[in-house]
Amino acid sequence: MTGLVWRARIFLTRFLREMQNGADFVVNLAAGLDAQPYRIKLPTTLQWLEVDLPDIVYYEEDVLENEKPRCRLERIPLDLSDAGAPLTPRGGEQPGDEDRRPDRRSTS
């Protein structure tokens, strides 16, 4: 567990340094349940792009639907391990995703 904490600390330190140097765009591949756009003080003009598996993206959206990110946040559901997967268009979902997406109204 120590290695994971150290990795996160190094990432955050470098990230904040780049922000101070004017970085205005973040691409977070295989983002998982990263909540940094919600918990770190960020410029509202920063564009944060997360790419991850569709089920993870949809789950994170459901969990955080009542929270407000501190920057411009966009999530793209895409399996990065599938070289044949089509690039998801801006706005997130491929045609037909609504048929595969879990019912967001479900309370279970």
Residue 9 in domain = no
Residue 91 in domain = no
Considering the entire predicted model, what is its pTM?
0.70
pLDDT computed for residue 89 by the predictor: 52
Name the strand (E) or helix (H) holding 77: strand 72-77
Burial of residue 95, with CB atoms counted within 10 A of its CB: 0-12 exposed, 13-18 middle, 19 or more buried = exposed
pLDDT digit string (tens) for 47-88? 999 999 989 999 999 999 999 999 999 999 988 888 887 765
Count how many domains the chain has. Answer: 1
Residue 8 in domain = no
Residue 101 in domain = no
Domain span holding position 45: 28-81
